[in-house]
């Protein structure tokens, strides 16, 4: 049942927030080291239809974080934003109705029935997660998805549609999608309406009240999904959203005074300040007013090492706010990048699974910009693992804990490709790839790198660039320049440079998948440098659909102990 029991809370929260703003001018708040932040989306809140067993399984899963560099657990309080993993009095609980998409024997039907049984027995997955985090010595941050879109295409049938939405679909939704390519976004809640903002504030306050002995703060996840206002309404709506953030901050500060410990506000936001403004999120104001303690710029679903966040980091640093870019275990379709060239792609299958080398390199690029740490999103089921976790996830934990931990391990820097329709005015900053190639017209691309490998205990054994193309005529000449230095001029052919991508079986060829890869050796430092590296690609001949699909740089190191020992002991 929906019961917004305290309508004056928003106004009272705003008054408290202004008191806080005035006090912050005299006493800036200290932010701790949040360490590696790990987001668990709570899909395993109710694994079986029995409260005791489900709680035991959830604890066992979270206990797998023990003795890792993870210092902060972020735990989603609901399936989406409007149906929650506990017996809420202000929103809807998971399984609150039997929906049409609960087909007999389906995973959704099992999840909903498990939840109904466990909740009827008094289960509270959020509290179980918090108790486990406390026992492990982790900070515990419940997280609310501010406008989750999973239900939007067929809301009447979907199990993730809330009672609030069904009751108020005609009055409190965006209605006309601000993005023409997806009309269903019109089904998202419209934050112009105070009732929508009050629902979110009441949910935050309920979670804080129920878990006051466990929480170290709260997270507002604006990244799932990045639409909150009707078309053309973001600028006018931004102050309303800022008022809501102020009210959440005021609620945290009130509870902080009561429990005698600091409480922190996290926000996950679109991947640049410009994208935040497009969504109606005045993140600059939140930082300057001291409302937030950690900001995580985030792609919607894919790994990126090139989010344009330098201005965000500079602003946040000036105000003592932490910036932890979100990293993902998934990337765009490509052949994982081996340290080989020629036709040696035998046995390498197309994949969207991010490699350890790609994750390390993304982190290195953000470290170079000054990021304070990293936020792992969707790694709870990374690498197709069984629970608790795949061994590779523990490698990710270790690699990201300190920059020195990546010494001697491969790095692959990649220019991020478009994800569905992202671009200016949409999900995120515009992606440079894939890009059309026109004859005799140079295409400019910029790939950021982290600190370049230096002489150290693990010698650099190879560095090269890989460029992916599709639709190029056989007799084309390609010119490639890096920071003004000519790397290649001539045909894309020859066993030392070209590699044909294998045919795909059992799947439709993705639109951004290369036909041919061009491998070019690089010297270090040579034309490379830390930070932005400018590439120019020019073709002598083109055809309809001719594109460059990929741009990557790989570094490999000698870390074989036997070889290193022989080198040290050789006369």
What lies within 8 Å, CB to CB, of 95 at 6+ separation is 83, 112, 113, 115, 116, 119, 159
User: Looking at residue 21, what is its pLDDT?
Assistant: 45
Helices (H) and strands (E) in the chain, counts: 13, 24
Condensed to tens digits (0 to 9), the pLDDT of residues 172-201 reads 999 988 888 888 999 999 999 999 999 999
Instruction: Read off the pLDDT of each residue in 203-211 and give the average, rounded to a whole number.
Output: 98
pLDDT for 78 beyond 50: yes
User: Looking at residue 201, what is its pLDDT?
Assistant: 98
pLDDT for 1 beyond 60: no
pLDDT for 84 beyond 90: yes
Secondary structure of 478-493 in the HEC alphabet? EEEEECCEEEEEEECC
Q: Are 76 and 141 in contact, with CB atoms under 8 Å apart?
A: no
pLDDT for 94 beyond 80: yes
> What residues does 429 pair with on adjacent strands?
none
Angstrom distances, CA of residue 363 to CA of 42, 312, 327, 380: 25, 16, 8, 18
Condensed to tens digits (0 to 9), the pLDDT of residues 107-126 reads 999 999 999 999 999 999 99
538 or 562: which leads in pLDDT:
538
CATH level 3 topology of 9-297 = TIM Barrel (3.20.20)
Instruction: Read off the pLDDT of each residue in 280-287 and give the average, rounded to a whole number.
Output: 98
Return the closest-CA partner of residue 466 out of 414, 540, 541, 510: 414
DSSP-based helix, strand, coil % in the chain, nearest 5:
30, 20, 45
344 or 546: which leads in pLDDT:
546
The SS3 call for residue 349 is coil
pLDDT for 362 beyond 50: yes
Instruction: Read off the pLDDT of each residue in 47-56 and give the average, rounded to a whole number.
Output: 96
User: Looking at residue 380, what is its pLDDT?
Assistant: 77
- Band of the pLDDT at 367, cuts 50, 70, 90? very high
Structure tokens at 430: 């515009």
Angstrom distances, CA of residue 516 to CA of 274, 415, 497, 500: 35, 17, 10, 5
- Band of the pLDDT at 439, cuts 50, 70, 90? confident
Structure tokens at 164: 């609030």
pLDDT for 19 beyond 80: no
The C-alpha angle with vertex 351 and arms to 347 and 352, in degrees rounded to 5, equals: 165
* Prediction pTM value: 0.91
The DSSP line for 418-478 is: P-TT-STTSSSSPP-BSEE--BT-PEEEEEEE-SPP-SSSS-EEEEEEEEEEES--TT-EE
Q: Quick one: 499 exposed, middle or buried, by C-beta within 10 A (0-12, 13-18, 19+)? A: buried
User: Looking at residue 493, what is its pLDDT?
Assistant: 66
pLDDT for 205 beyond 90: yes
Percent above pLDDT 70 for the chain = 88
Structure tokens at 261: 């410990």
Q: Are 324 and 299 in contact, with CB atoms under 8 Å apart?
A: no
Angstrom distances, CA of residue 455 to CA of 407, 458, 558: 11, 8, 12
User: Looking at residue 24, what is its pLDDT?
Assistant: 42
pLDDT for 391 beyond 70: yes
Q: Give the C-alpha separation, 539 to 555, whole Å.
A: 27
Average pLDDT of the chain, as a whole number: 88
pLDDT for 341 beyond 70: no
Q: Are 77 and 207 in contact, with CB atoms under 8 Å apart?
A: yes
- Band of the pLDDT at 563, cuts 50, 70, 90? low
Condensed to tens digits (0 to 9), the pLDDT of residues 467-483 reads 999 888 878 899 999 99
Sheet of strand 443-449, all strands in order from the earlier edge strand to the far edge: 443-449, 531-539, 477-482, 485-491
User: Looking at residue 345, what is its pLDDT?
Assistant: 66
Place of tokens 């972020």: 74
Direct distance between the N- and C-terminal alpha carbons of the chain, in angstroms, rounded to an integer: 80
- CATH number of this structure's domain 413-562: 2.60.120.1200
Conformational region of residue 290, where left means phi above 0, alpha means psi within -120 to 50, and beta covers everything else? left
User: Looking at residue 457, what is its pLDDT?
Assistant: 83
561 or 61: which leads in pLDDT:
61
pLDDT for 496 beyond 80: no
Q: Which of 5-9, 410-414, 556-560 has the lowest mean pLDDT?
A: 5-9
For the chain, domain boundaries: 9-297, 413-562
Long-range pairs for 422-426: beta carbons < 8 A, 24 or more residues apart = 422/299, 422/300, 424/278, 425/179, 425/278, 426/179, 426/181
C-beta atoms surrounding 343 within 10 Å: 11
Domains 9-297 and 413-562 belong to one CATH topology: no
User: Looking at residue 386, what is its pLDDT?
Assistant: 65
- Band of the pLDDT at 495, cuts 50, 70, 90? very low
Q: Are 46 and 118 in contact, with CB atoms under 8 Å apart?
A: yes
User: Looking at residue 430, what is its pLDDT?
Assistant: 86
Condensed to tens digits (0 to 9), the pLDDT of residues 504-553 reads 666 677 778 888 888 899 988 889 999 999 999 999 988 888 999 999 99
């Amino acid at each position: 049942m929906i019961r917004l029991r305290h309508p004056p809370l928003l106004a009272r929260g705003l008054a408290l927030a202004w008191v806080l703003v005035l006090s912050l001018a005299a006493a800036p708040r200290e932010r701790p080291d949040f360490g590696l932040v790990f987001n668990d989306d709570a899909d395993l809140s109710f694994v079986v239809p029995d409260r005791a067993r489900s709680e035991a399984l959830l604890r066992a899963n979270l206990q797998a974080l023990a003795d890792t560099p993870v210092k902060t657990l972020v735990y989603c309080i609901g399936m989406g934003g409007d149906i929650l993993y506990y017996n809420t009095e202000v929103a809807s609980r998971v399984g609150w109705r039997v929906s049409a998409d609960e087909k007999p024997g389906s995973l959704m039907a099992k999840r909903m029935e498990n939840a109904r049984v466990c909740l009827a027995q008094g289960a509270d997955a959020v509290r179980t997660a918090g108790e486990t985090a406390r026992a492990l010595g982790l900070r515990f941050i419940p997280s609310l998805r501010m406008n989750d879109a999973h239900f939007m295409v067929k809301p009447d049938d979907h199990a993730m549609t809330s009672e609030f939405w069904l009751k108020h679909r005609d009055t409190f939704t965006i209605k006309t999608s601000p993005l023409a390519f997806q009309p269903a976004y019109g089904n998202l809640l419209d934050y112009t309406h105070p009732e929508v903002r009050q629902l979110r504030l009441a949910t935050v306050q309920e979670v804080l009240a129920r878990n006051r002995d466990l929480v170290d703060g709260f997270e507002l996840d604006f990244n799932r999904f990045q639409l909150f206002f009707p078309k053309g309404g973001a600028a006018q709506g931004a102050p309303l959203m800022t008022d809501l953030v102020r009210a959440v901050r005021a609620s945290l500060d009130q509870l902080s005074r009561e429990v005698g410990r600091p409480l922190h506000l996290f926000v996950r936001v679109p991947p640049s300040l410009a994208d935040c403004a497009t969504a109606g999120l005045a993140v600059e104001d939140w930082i300057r007013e001291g409302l937030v303690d950690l900001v995580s710029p985030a792609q919607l679903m894919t790994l990126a090492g090139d989010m344009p966040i330098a201005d965000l980091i500079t602003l946040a640093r000036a105000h003592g706010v932490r910036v932890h870019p979100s990293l993902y275990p998934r990337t765009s379709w490509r052949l994982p990048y081996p340290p080989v060239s020629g036709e040696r792609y035998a046995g390498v299958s197309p994949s969207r699974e991010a490699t350890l080398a790609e994750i390390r390199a993304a982190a290195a690029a953000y470290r170079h910009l000054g990021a304070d740490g990293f936020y792992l999103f969707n790694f709870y089921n990374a690498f197709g693992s069984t629970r608790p976790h795949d061994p590779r996830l523990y490698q990710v934990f270790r690699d990201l804990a300190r920059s020195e931990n990546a010494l001697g391990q491969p790095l692959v820097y990649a220019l991020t490709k478009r994800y569905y329709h992202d671009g200016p005015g949409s999900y995120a900053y515009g992606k440079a790839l894939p890009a059309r190639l026109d004859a005799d017209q140079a295409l400019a691309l910029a790939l950021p790198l982290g600190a370049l490998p230096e002489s150290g205990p693990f010698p650099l054994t190879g560095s090269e660039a890989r460029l992916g193309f599709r639709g190029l005529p056989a007799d084309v000449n390609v010119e490639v320049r890096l920071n003004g230095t000519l790397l290649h001029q001539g045909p894309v052919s020859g066993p030392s440079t070209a590699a044909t991508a294998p045919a795909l079986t059992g799947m439709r060829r993705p639109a951004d998948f290369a036909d041919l890869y061009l491998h070019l050796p690089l010297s270090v430092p040579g034309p490379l440098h830390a930070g932005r590296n400018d590439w120019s690609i020019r073709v002598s001949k083109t055809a309809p659909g001719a594109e460059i699909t990929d741009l990557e740089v790989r570094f490999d190191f000698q870390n074989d102990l036997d070889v290193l020992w022989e080198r040290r002991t050789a006369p």
